[in-house]
């Protein structure tokens, strides 16, 4: 089939999934990604902002200067907030620039639009641009979609973004829902089984790895799994931010040697300035399976969704790398908890709609054991108790919620108070 015959399917798939994600990656292996970008950029109905990164886009200041120049040429009214932001940008100024760009995108139009970053691989070596785009995603207006076209898989935490429902990876007419980074590797090679939801452990060819020589080599391995590739500076900043660069690099190399010694394999390979998981290994990661189940639960036909929601629930054995409290782990823990809460509440609602109120109640209670702050779920539990004629248990749940909220130094909302009063009356 010709490219013109296949392309409409890719465009339809994009329109199907773009509305459910804030950032869409046109996968580097896509045959029609450039054709799709051209159509989006030139379709008046699509309302697009287009910027192709250039050779000079090696830092956030250069990127923003080029972006503002090109977008203001396309749309003269665009860029008011960026123009008012001081020209110098340091590490502490990132938040102001993010807010200014998000405000310009929000104010440009109140209609659905796509913001296209083409030739994104030109920023591969720019750690600050990768951080900037990652932090921009949650700030995007609800009616805007960021579309990235790249010849390489960008160094963003795609698995975590997908878990939160913020990202989609498209390969022509397919939504990628498995092996997001290609870590499954070569068939027949050494096999690594990785469990990160819970305390975390690694097995090589069915043998549990125990000789880590401390927690750093083990955490370095999990950090390398987080993104398609990482730079040495990213690793040093995540693990040893208090050290100067030379000291951090020395500690990194010692940690990497211990990692390779523990597994008896060269796990991290250096290629073109980046570190990545050795492609000769076959890595089976529970986080990948968990996020794949979330993707399928969101997109499968209605009659099949429950099996995927249940798969996600079963795979979530506990918080990500439970027991470790460093910033990058805490961020991923929140991402995967968001995905788990989606799965268990969707399953609870499906049980309720099929007349199984008691199983639905137990699922909501299980969800609250993971995230007690979810006030909407407290209301749902009280309502279910009331529907089943168990008003005293609804009252007891309310009192338990009050005690828990007091410890969190918060009070229930007016909506929750109203639900409780209606039940009691």
Q: Where are the domains of the chain?
A: 3-175, 181-333
Instruction: Using CB atoms within 10 Å of the CB of residue 225, give its burial: 0 to 12 exposed, 13 to 18 middle, 19+ buried.
Output: buried
pLDDT band at 2 (very low <50, low <70, confident <90, very high): very low
Fold annotation for 3-175: Rossmann fold (3.40.50)
> In this predicted model, what pLDDT tens digit does every residue of 150-191 receive, in sequence order?
999 999 999 999 999 999 999 998 999 999 999 987 677 789
| pLDDT value of residue 1 | 38
Encode pLDDT of 381-403 as tens digits.
999 999 999 999 999 999 999 99
Q: What is the pLDDT of residue 5?
A: 47
Give backbone dihedrals phi and psi of 211, rounded to 5 degrees, phi first. -95, 70
The pLDDT score that the predictor gives to residue 6 is 54
**What is the C-alpha to C-alpha distance for residues 39 and 37, in angstroms, rounded to an integer?**
5
Q: How far apart are CA 46 and CA 112, in angstroms?
A: 8
Average pLDDT over residues 75-104: 83
Question: Is the Cβ–Cβ distance between 85 and 97 less than 8 Å?
Answer: yes
Assign 320 to helix, strand or coil: strand
* Residues 332-381: tens digit of each pLDDT: 999 999 999 999 999 999 999 999 999 999 999 999 999 999 999 999 99
CATH of domain 181-333: 1.10.10.10
Comparing 277-281, 310-314, 339-343, which segment has the lowest mean pLDDT?
277-281
Each residue's pLDDT tens digit, 120-137: 999 999 999 999 999 999
- Residue 184: per-residue pLDDT: 87
| Alpha carbon distances (Å) from 85 to 102, 103, 139 | 13, 12, 17
Question: How is residue 137 written in tokens?
Answer: 């995603």
CA 46 and chain centroid, separation? 25
Q: Is the pLDDT of residue 424 over 90?
A: yes
**For the residues 49-54, what does the mean pLDDT come to?**
96
Looking at per-residue confidence, does 420 or 186 come out higher?
Answer: 420
Strands (DSSP E) found in 205-285: 207-208, 268-271, 274-277, 282-285
Which regions of 67-127 does DSSP assign to beta strands (E)? 113-118
Contacts of 87 (CB under 8 A, 6+ apart): 61
Question: C-alpha angle 149/180/196, rounded to 5°?
Answer: 140
Asked if pLDDT for residue 254 goes beyond 70, the answer is: yes
Q: What is the mean pLDDT of residues 241-255?
A: 96
Per-residue model confidence (pLDDT) at position 324: 93
- What is the pLDDT of the chain when averaged over all its residues? 93
Go through 93-116 and write b for each residue having 16 or more CB atoms within 10 A of its CB, e for each that does not. Answer: eeeebbebbbbbbbebbeeebbbb
What is the mean pLDDT of the segment spanning 52-78? 93
With a cut of 90, say whether residue 44 has pLDDT above it. no
Name the percent of the chain lying above pLDDT 90. Answer: 85
The confidence score (pLDDT) of residue 97 equals 92
Average pLDDT estimate for 33-37:
92
């Amino acid at each position: 089939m010709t490219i013109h015959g296949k392309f409409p399917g890719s465009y339809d798939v994009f329109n199907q999934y773009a509305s459910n994600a804030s950032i869409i990656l046109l996968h580097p292996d896509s045959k029609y990604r450039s054709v799709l970008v051209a159509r989006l950029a030139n379709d008046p109905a699509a309302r697009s902002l287009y910027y192709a990164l250039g050779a000079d886009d090696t830092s956030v200041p250069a990127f923003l200067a080029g972006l503002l120049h090109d977008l203001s040429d396309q749309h003269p009214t665009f860029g008011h907030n960026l123009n008012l932001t001081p020209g110098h940008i340091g590490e502490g100024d990132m938040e102001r620039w993010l807010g200014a760009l998000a405000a310009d995108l929000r104010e440009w139009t109140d209609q659905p639009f796509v913001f296209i970053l083409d030739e994104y691989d030109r920023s591969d070596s720019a750690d600050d641009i990768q951080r900037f785009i990652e932090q921009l995603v949650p700030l995007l207006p609800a009616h805007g979609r960021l579309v990235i076209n790249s010849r390489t898989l960008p160094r963003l935490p795609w698995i975590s973004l997908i878990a939160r429902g913020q990202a989609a990876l498209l390969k022509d007419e397919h939504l990628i829902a498995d092996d997001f980074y290609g870590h499954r590797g070569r068939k027949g090679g050494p096999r690594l089984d990785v469990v990160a939801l819970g305390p975390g452990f690694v097995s090589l060819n069915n043998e549990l790895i125990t000789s880590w020589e401390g927690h750093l080599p083990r955490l370095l391995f999990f950090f390398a799994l987080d993104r398609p590739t990482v730079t040495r500076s990213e690793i040093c900043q995540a693990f040893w931010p208090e050290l100067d660069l030379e000291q951090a690099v020395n500690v990194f190399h010692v940690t990497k040697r211990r990692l390779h010694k523990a597994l008896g394999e060269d796990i991290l390979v250096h290629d073109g300035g980046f570190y990545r998981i050795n492609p000769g290994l076959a890595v089976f990661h529970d986080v990948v399976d968990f996020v794949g189940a979330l993707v399928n639960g969101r997109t499968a036909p209605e009659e099949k969704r429950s099996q995927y929601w249940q798969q996600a629930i079963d795979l979530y054995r506990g918080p990500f790398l439970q027991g470790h409290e460093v910033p990058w782990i805490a961020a991923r823990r929140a991402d995967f908890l968001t995905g788990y809460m989606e799965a268990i509440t969707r399953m609870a609602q499906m049980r309720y709609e099929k007349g199984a109120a008691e199983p639905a109640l137990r699922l909501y209670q299980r969800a609250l054991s993971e995230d007690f702050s979810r006030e909407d779920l407290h209301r749902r539990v009280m309502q279910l108790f009331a529907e089943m004629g168990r008003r005293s248990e609804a009252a007891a749940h309310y009192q338990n919620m009050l005690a828990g909220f007091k410890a969190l130094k918060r009070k229930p909302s007016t909506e929750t108070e109203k639900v409780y009063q209606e039940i009691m009356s």
